[in-house]
Amino acid sequence: MSTYDRSMALTGQPPKEINLNQKIASIVGMLGLAILLLATFNVSFPNKAFWLTLSLVSISGGTIWFSWEQYKGKYPGIKNDGVWFKSLTNLGFWGWIAGLAITTFYVILYFFPEYLGLVNGGDNKGVIGLFDPLSKALSGNPASQWFVYGALYTVAILAFGIKFMWKYRHNRYERIRTMSVMFFQTSFAFLIPEFMARLNGSSVLQGGSLPFLDLKNIWPLNYYNFESYRIKGFLSSGDIGFAMLIFAILSVFVITPFLTYKFGKRWYCSWVCGCGGLAETIGDPFRQLSDKSVKAWKIERWVIHSVVVFVTLMTTAVIYSYLGNDTSKYWLTKTTFLLGVAALLTLVFAWVMIFKRDQLQKDAKYGAIGYFVIIISLIAIHFFSGEGHVFLFKSGALRKNYSFLIGSIFSGVIGTGFYPIFGNRAWCRFGCPMAAMMGFQQRLFSKFRITTNGGQCISCGNCSTYCEMGIDVRAYAQKGENIVRSSCVGCGICSAVCPRGVLKLENGPLQGRIDSNQVLLGNDVDLMELVNSK
Amino acid sequence: MENIVIIGNGIAGVSAARHIRKLSDKRIIIVSAETDYFFSRTALMYVYMGHMKFEHTQPYENWFWEKNRIELVNAFVNKVDTENKALTLDGSRTLHYDKLILATGSKPNKFGWPGQDLHGVQGLYSKQDLDLLEVNAPNKEVCKRAVIVGGGLIGIELAEMLRTRDIPVTFLVRESSFWNGVLPEGESQMINEHILEHHIDLRLATNLKEIVSDENGKVKSVIIAETGEELPCDMVGLTAGVTPNMDFLKDSGIELGRGIKVNRHLETNIPDVYAIGDCAEQHEAIGNRRPIEAVWYTGRMMGETVAQTICGNRIEYKPGHWFNSAKFLDIEYQTYGWVFSERGMKDYEAHFHWRHSSEKLCITVAYNKETEQFLGINTFGIRMRHEMFDRWLTQEKDVNYVMQHLADANFDPEFYKHHESAILSKYNSDRGTSIKPKKKSFKRIFQLT
Ligand SMILES: Cc1cc2nc3c(=O)[nH]c(=O)nc-3n(C[C@H](O)[C@H](O)[C@H](O)COP(=O)(O)OP(=O)(O)OC[C@H]3O[C@@H](n4cnc5c(N)ncnc54)[C@H](O)[C@@H]3O)c2cc1C
Ligand code: SF4
Ligand code: SF4
């Protein structure tokens, strides 16, 4: 043993090669992708419906078969063997290639849809053309790049959702939550809006036409939901349109706060949301890549809260710009609206400062900064805006910038494209204003917490490593503290991978939820008092 | 300013340092020879299995130490000179201390087997052992078979590790059933089955006679004592327990037994020298605990205790109710209070055992035959809430009460199947009782009024 050289750089090896069936399954999946690729390069397929079906079936079939081969002979339990040895999942060569490929796809999708075959006003070509039959069958309209995207997105969540359920089959929380995500993606995000589009112009809507709406896509994630054209769309579409508008407003002010109070933000982020759904299924192999350093946490808080401030101001400005000044026409005028927003924010701010100051500690300062930025901006909007413009900008310009920077670049290109680089929830963690707002509530006013099981933690670090939100779970667990963090999406993976049964996600009484004391059981009680007295 | 020197940057030494820093401004120096920074020894297996990188096993970021003014010295202590209060580092340098904390941990046992120092023979304790394993058993081509000697917690971890790289493993266990010195029969039996399920060649009641060398001084095979069978192999893992790491203290005047002898205040016989963690041996065992407790959380608790003493508040080491946990391949194990195996069972102790009909789940509850007092519980595949059992043990609840309120103690993730009623119906039929399970109540769990 003495000859052993300490300085040798050693890395492990992946446990097993993939087997023959997995190779065939990969080929099947690749063939499906190849059809899409050929279509993109304008190979014209005679029977589009047939080739499209063949393509989607082989993509999902290949994925599912591959996963089955991967997990079939194994006992239920943690399946993270070799994660850090594979170049796809350890920031190695294939990781970067995958990141590059997905990013390229997003850039084309958002900014150059014509390369995918989008033709405005004519027959689509390319891969978008290939999807025309499906789109027509659902909504009656030709496909768009968004339809293609939505369809592929749904296929990904379904196929990789099944993989995820096999991988975590020892854990019913994971399985049920994944079924939920698969359901919401297929119905609410994909099918229902397409069916609703069929109704446009029909008598049910009194001849109006609804804007495309994924009902579960709530402001501020759906940052454009209260724009003028959409409001007009809702209001023109009879009772159904009106009901949908009311639902959209209730979602923001009643449903979301209520469910977040009862269950934490996980009800949305890990059970309903499509972005979360993609992250948890196809993105699951990359969760360990999120940065756990304190520095990353600092950056996270600045970035995400800036996004919240921005989206609030932008939405206010957009709504402001289309409201009138005449009270006799409509009770909601520019001035009442601004006052209303300011009053609401002040109420929330005052409530937090009065009742929840202690829990916020240092963050209170940043909250205050955010609040005053918004209020001052609101005042400025009032004094320096005229018809159709806010300050010196056209009101649309703010919105366009947001939509470009946050909606496209952040949530799509970086958020998803960089799964293999920054981990699967980079968007949810750094960019999503919806997550930030619910997180704020989760931290201060929710029954949800991750309970730490007394003194059982052995500081192994599995929980922190596999937390996709970059939360250093171990830092709390090893001190016996509960984990109550605004960014926690309640995916439950930290609890699933903990080898000592230390963590439990639960909704319990508010009292004693945030216990910053070290309640390490098994210790002498007097000692615990001493340890905590400092 | 007082100079506190700590030897060993494991959980014991680091806990002591952190708490001394919390309580005082003393100068703190940690000397350790294994790694630059504290890491979690319990997580070594996950690095080999590819679940984590080594850096993930470090609970604190590297800037933490400087920020908290804890000085780290990577050096080996050869000698402690208690008369002059000085240490010799790496054979030459001298370091003075005002107070010295020994937190030197353990080393793997070697029982003088022939061939135990050959190439390819190793223990699993340190970071160096982990690196060595990458040399001895990087894959199934280099290591066509591994033999593990010693059926304890580290042995089964090593077996699990090697299996993730598809390396065939033969597991020699001295006992007639896995870990049955600690686990009651039913549980030990279930783990035997699970080991076989994972295609590990488990040899019970089997001892190692000799490790055979090839012409290059590398292991070639092992010979089994009982049968004389020779098993060819490329790697031998010695995992027959650990002993305190204290060879360098031989001539220091510090009293040594099996470990470094300490009193309840964790003081050695020499003033200003303390010992904590795996290396410390109590003069007299505390309750049912062993005099040397080689587990993670006791190291942490001793560190916290000694920090108080050093900062002027001299207190005793008073661990609360015993608990522990481990994992056998896919099966999680937790224990609260005392459940002894048939071998170590007290006269007053009786057991209730339940095992699931198809899944690998079971529990054993120990109680006092005469007084019905609840003594402890072992659970396999079911997570339990530490807080509840800690409280019930303190309140000396009787076993019927505990059985009735099992749902309060369940700590499985949400939506998991519950087994309380199955457990209780077996309990009722075993004991002729007719207890009905109570529903889980947050009010009781969190003692809300
Ligand atoms: C593979 C494995 C798995 C385990 N799993 C669990 C588990 O699941 N649960 C549990 O409770 N416990 C577990 N344990 C036991 C637990 O890790 C130990 O009880 C704990 O780490 C002991 O901590 P310590 O601080 O006393 O000593 P150590 O962590 O051993 O630290 C002592 C340090 O001192 C250094 N040192 C010693 N002598 C000198 C010297 N002369 N000069 C300089 N440096 C020196 C050593 O190199 C070492 O780095 C496990 C142990 C192993 C090996
Ligand atoms: S803390 Fe746990 S539940 Fe929350 S996001 Fe991280 S891994 Fe998921
Ligand atoms: S909570 Fe569990 S996974 Fe996290 S460090 Fe502790 S023992 Fe490991």
Which tokens in the block code for residue A190?
């994909």
Most A CBs within 10 Å, among B34, B160, B386, to test the A interface? B386
Residues B88 and B17 grouped into a single domain: yes
Residues B72 and B153 grouped into a single domain: no
B448–A81 C-beta distance less than 8 A = no
What is residue A2's predicted lDDT score, i.e. its pLDDT? 37
What is residue A119's predicted lDDT score, i.e. its pLDDT? 83
Quickly state the pLDDT bin for A218 (edges 50, 70, 90): confident
Considering CB atoms only, which of B139, B198, B319 is closest to A524? Answer: B319
What is residue A226's predicted lDDT score, i.e. its pLDDT? 84
Quickly state the pLDDT bin for A410 (edges 50, 70, 90): confident
**Pairwise CA distance, residues B306 & B297, whole Å:** 14
What is residue A341's predicted lDDT score, i.e. its pLDDT? 85
**Pairwise CA distance, residues A269 & A412, whole Å:** 17
Collect all residues of chain A within an 8 Å Cβ-Cβ radius of residue B117: 1
Which residue stretches of A237-394 are H helix?
238-250, 256-263, 266-269, 274-281, 294-322, 334-355, 357-360, 363-384
Lowest mean pLDDT among A103-112, A388-397, B204-213, B400-409: A388-397
Q: Residue with the nearest Cα to atom 8 of ligand 3? A: A460
Q: Give B4's strand partners.
A: B28, B99
Mean pLDDT over residues A129-154, rounded? 91
> b or e along B52-89 (b: 16 or more beta carbons within 10 Å of the residue's beta carbon)?
bbbebbbbbbeeebeeeebebbebebeebebeebbbbb
- Is B318 part of a structural domain of the chain? no
Contact A410, A427 (CB under 8 A): yes
What is residue A16's predicted lDDT score, i.e. its pLDDT? 60
Q: What is the pLDDT of residues A191-210, one digit of tens each?
A: 988 888 887 777 777 777 77
Q: What is the pLDDT of residues A21-69, one digit of tens each?
A: 999 999 999 999 999 999 988 888 888 899 999 999 999 999 999 999 9
Mean pLDDT over residues B352-380, rounded? 97
Its ipTM equals 0.95
> b or e along A22-58 (b: 16 or more beta carbons within 10 Å of the residue's beta carbon)?
beebeebbeebeebbebbbeeeebeebeebbeebbeb
Place of tokens 């009742």: A355
**Pairwise CA distance, residues A496 & A498, whole Å:** 6
Give me the CATH number covering residue B349: 3.30.390.30
Q: Please say if the pLDDT value at position A1 is more than 50.
A: no
Which of B222, B240, B258 is the last residue before a domain boundary?
B240
What's the domain count of chain A? 2
B135 in contact with chain A, both atoms CB, cutoff 8 A: yes
Residues B346 and B435 grouped into a single domain: yes
- Report the half-sphere exposure of B372 (CA within 13 A, side-chain side): 9
Which of B288, B310, B332 is the last residue before a domain boundary?
B310
Collect all residues of chain A within an 8 Å Cβ-Cβ radius of residue B304: 523, 527, 531
Q: Please say if the pLDDT value at position A312 is more than 70.
A: yes
Going from the C-alpha of B273 to that of each of A383, B91, B102, B305, the distances in angstroms are 73, 21, 7, 14
Which residue stretches of A41-171 are H helix?
48-71, 93-111, 126-130, 132-139, 145-167
Percent of chain A clearing pLDDT 70 (strictly above): 88
Residue of A107 and A530 predicted with greater confidence? A107
Q: What is the pLDDT of residues B142-180, one digit of tens each?
A: 999 999 999 999 999 999 999 999 999 999 999 999 999
Continuous segment of H or E residues that includes residue B306: helix B296-310
If DSSP codes are grouped into helix, strand and coil, which group holds residue A27?
helix
Q: Please say if the pLDDT value at position A271 is more than 70.
A: yes
Lowest mean pLDDT among A349-353, B167-171, B224-228: A349-353
What is residue B189's predicted lDDT score, i.e. its pLDDT? 97
Which B residues 242-271 touch A at CB under 8 Å?
Answer: none
- Is B20 part of a structural domain of the chain? yes
Which tokens in the block code for residue A356?
């929840």
What is residue A380's predicted lDDT score, i.e. its pLDDT? 75
Question: How do strand A389-390 and strand A393-394 relate by DSSP bridges?
Answer: antiparallel
Name the residue among B430, B387, B376, B428 with its Cα closest to residue B410.
B387
Question: How do strand B99-102 and strand B3-7 relate by DSSP bridges?
Answer: parallel
Nearest CA in chain B to A176: B415
Which of A181, A199, A217 is the last residue before a domain boundary?
A199
Quickly state the pLDDT bin for A13 (edges 50, 70, 90): low
Name the residue among B364, B395, B401, B389 with its Cα closest to residue B379.
B364
What is residue A520's predicted lDDT score, i.e. its pLDDT? 59
- Report the half-sphere exposure of A486 (CA within 13 A, side-chain side): 23
Going from the C-alpha of B285 to that of each of A22, A266, A420, the distances in angstroms are 56, 47, 52
Which A residues 50-109 touch B at CB under 8 Å?
Answer: 75-78, 80-86, 90
- Beta carbons within 10 angstroms of residue B401's beta carbon: 14
Measure B414 CA to nearest chain A CA, in Å.
Answer: 6
Quickly state the pLDDT bin for B1 (edges 50, 70, 90): confident
B128 in contact with chain A, both atoms CB, cutoff 8 A: yes
Q: Which of A458, A466, A505 to mutate to test the pocket of ligand 3 (most atoms within 8 A of CB)?
A: A458
Residues B268 and B329 grouped into a single domain: no
**Pairwise CA distance, residues A226 & A229, whole Å:** 8
Name the residue among B67, B84, B79 with its Cα closest to residue B28.
B67
> b or e along A311-336 (b: 16 or more beta carbons within 10 Å of the residue's beta carbon)?
bbbbbbbbbbbebeeeeeeeeebbee
Dihedrals φ, ψ of A381, to 5°? -55, -45
Quickly state the pLDDT bin for B416 (edges 50, 70, 90): very high
Cis before A433? omega within 30: no
What is residue A331's predicted lDDT score, i.e. its pLDDT? 74
Q: For residue A502, which ligand has an atom nearest its CA? A: 3
Say which residues have a Cβ less than 8 Å from residue A29's Cβ, sequence separation at least 6.
Answer: A58, A59, A61, A62, A63, A66
One-letter identity of residue B161: M
Continuous segment of H or E residues that includes residue A286: none
Q: Give B188's strand partners.
A: none
Q: Give A483's strand partners.
A: A450
Chain-wide mean pLDDT for chain A?
Answer: 85
- Among A129-143, A390-404, A457-471, the range with the most confident prediction by mean pLDDT is A457-471
Q: Please say if the pLDDT value at position A527 is more than 70.
A: no
- Is A260 part of a structural domain of the chain? no
Which tokens in the block code for residue A416?
């998803």
Name the residue among B102, B103, B107, B73 with its Cα closest to residue B90.
B73
Q: Give B218's strand partners.
A: B119
Q: What is the pLDDT of residues B11-28, one digit of tens each?
A: 999 999 999 999 999 999
Measure B312 CA to nearest chain A CA, in Å.
Answer: 12
- Beta carbons within 10 angstroms of residue A97's beta carbon: 13
What is residue A305's predicted lDDT score, i.e. its pLDDT? 85
Q: Please say if the pLDDT value at position B402 is more than 60.
A: yes
Lowest mean pLDDT among A239-248, B207-216, B219-228, B374-383: A239-248
Q: Please say if the pLDDT value at position B82 is more than 80.
A: yes
**Pairwise CA distance, residues B103 & B31, whole Å:** 10
**Pairwise CA distance, residues B446 & A482, whole Å:** 13
Residue A62 DSSP one-character state: H
Measure B383 CA to nearest chain A CA, in Å.
Answer: 6
**Pairwise CA distance, residues B29 & A315, whole Å:** 56
Q: Residue with the nearest Cα to atom 5 of ligand 2? A: A488
Lowest mean pLDDT among A278-292, A335-349, A466-480, B408-422: A335-349
Give me the CATH number covering residue A449: 3.30.70.20
User: Does residue B352's CB lie within 6 angstroms of at least one atom of ligand 1?
Assistant: no
Dihedrals φ, ψ of B439, to 5°? -70, 150
- Is B317 part of a structural domain of the chain? no
Question: What's the domain range around A494?
Answer: 445-532
Lowest mean pLDDT among A397-411, A447-461, B353-367: A397-411
Q: Please say if the pLDDT value at position A9 is more than 50.
A: no
Residues B157 and B75 grouped into a single domain: no
Residues B331 and B283 grouped into a single domain: no
Q: Which atom of ligand 1 is nearest to the CA of B296?
A: 11
Quickly state the pLDDT bin for A524 (edges 50, 70, 90): low
Residue A121 DSSP one-character state: T
- Is B316 part of a structural domain of the chain? no
- Is A430 part of a structural domain of the chain? no
Lowest mean pLDDT among A142-156, A210-224, A392-406: A392-406
What is residue B309's predicted lDDT score, i.e. its pLDDT? 95
Nearest CA in chain B to A293: B61
Greatest CA span in chain A, whole angstroms?
92
Lowest mean pLDDT among A437-446, B47-56, B302-311: A437-446
Q: Give B1's strand partners.
A: none
A509–B446 C-beta distance less than 8 A = yes
What is residue A5's predicted lDDT score, i.e. its pLDDT? 37
User: Does residue B249's CB lie within 6 angstroms of at least one atom of ligand 1?
Assistant: no
- Is B192 part of a structural domain of the chain? yes
Q: What is the pLDDT of residues B435-446, one digit of tens each?
A: 999 999 999 998
Question: For the whole model, what pTM was predicted?
Answer: 0.93
What is residue A323's predicted lDDT score, i.e. its pLDDT? 77
If DSSP codes are grouped into helix, strand and coil, which group holds residue A109?
helix
Question: What's the domain range around B400?
Answer: 323-445
Continuous segment of H or E residues that includes residue A342: helix A334-355
Q: Please say if the pLDDT value at position A516 is more than 60.
A: no
What's the domain count of chain B? 3
What is residue A389's predicted lDDT score, i.e. its pLDDT? 65
Measure A151 CA to nearest chain B CA, in Å.
Answer: 31
Collect all residues of chain B within an 8 Å Cβ-Cβ radius of residue A527: 301, 304-305, 308, 315, 318
Which tokens in the block code for residue A451?
């309970």
One-letter identity of residue A410: F
- Is A520 part of a structural domain of the chain? yes
User: Does residue B13's CB lie within 6 angstroms of at least one atom of ligand 1?
Assistant: yes
Which tokens in the block code for residue B341?
């195996």
Residues B210 and B254 grouped into a single domain: no
- Is A453 part of a structural domain of the chain? yes
Residue of A136 and A407 predicted with greater confidence? A136
Mean pLDDT over residues B290-298, rounded? 95
